[in-house]
Structure 1
Amino acid sequence: MPAGAEPTGDAVSAPRAGFWKRQLRQWHWISSALCLMLVLLFAITGITLNHADTLEAEGKNSAAEYELPAPLVQDLSAIEDEAVLTRSQASALRESTGIDLSGRVARNEYGEMYFDLARPGRTANLTLDLNEGRAYHEVIDRGTIAMLNDLHKGRDSGVVWSWLIDISAVIFVIFALTGFGLLWLQARLKPSTWPLTGLGVILPIIAYLLFVHS
Structure 2
Amino acid sequence: MRRRIVRWWAMTELRAEKRPDPKRRAFWLKHLHQWHWISSALCLVAMLLFSVTGVTLNHASKIEARPQVTQRHGQLPAPLLAQLAEAGDTDKAPLPADVREWLSTELSLRVGDRVAEWSDGEVYLSLPRPGGDAWLNIDRAGGAVEYEKTDRGWVSWFNDLHKGRNTGPAWSWFIDVFAVACVIFCLTGLFLLQLHARQRPGTWPVVGLGLVVMLVIMIVFIH
Output the TM-score relative to the length of structure 2.
0.87
- Give the equivalent residue in structure 2 for 1:84: 94
- Give the equivalent residue in structure 2 for 1:52: 60
Alpha carbons 1:77, 1:111 under 8 Å: kept: no
Shift of 1:139: 1.1
Shift of 1:55: 1.6
Q: Percent same amino acid among aligned pairs? A: 43
Shift of 1:76: 1.5
> In structure 1, what residue type is equivalent to 2:75?
E
1:28-67 superposed matches below 5 A: 28-67=36-75
1:123-142 superposed matches below 5 A: 123-142=133-152
Alpha carbons 2:83, 2:96 under 8 Å: kept: no
Higher mean alpha-carbon deviation, 89-98 vs 194-203, is at 89-98
Q: 1:166 aligned to 153, 176, 194, which one?
A: 176
Shift of 1:205: 0.7
- Give the equivalent residue in structure 1 for 2:114: 104
Alpha carbons 1:79, 1:108 under 8 Å: kept: no
- Give the equivalent residue in structure 2 for 1:3: none
- Give the equivalent residue in structure 2 for 1:9: 17
Alpha carbons 1:56, 1:143 under 8 Å: kept: no
- Give the equivalent residue in structure 1 for 2:3: none
Q: 2:141 matched to 1:145?
A: no
Higher mean alpha-carbon deviation, 76-85 vs 133-142, is at 76-85
Structure 1 or 2, whichever has the larger Rg, is 2
Between the two proteins, the alignment pairs up a number of residues equal to: 208
> In structure 1, what residue type is equivalent to 2:126?
D
Alpha carbons 1:77, 1:108 under 8 Å: kept: no
Q: CA RMSD in A?
A: 1.8
> In structure 1, what residue type is equivalent to 2:159?
N
1:14-33 superposed matches below 5 A: 14-33=22-41
**Residue segments in structure 2 that go unaligned for 5+ positions in a row:** 1-12
Output the TM-score relative to the length of structure 1.
0.90
Runs of 4+ in 1 over 4 A off after TM superposition: none
Shift of 1:105: 2.7
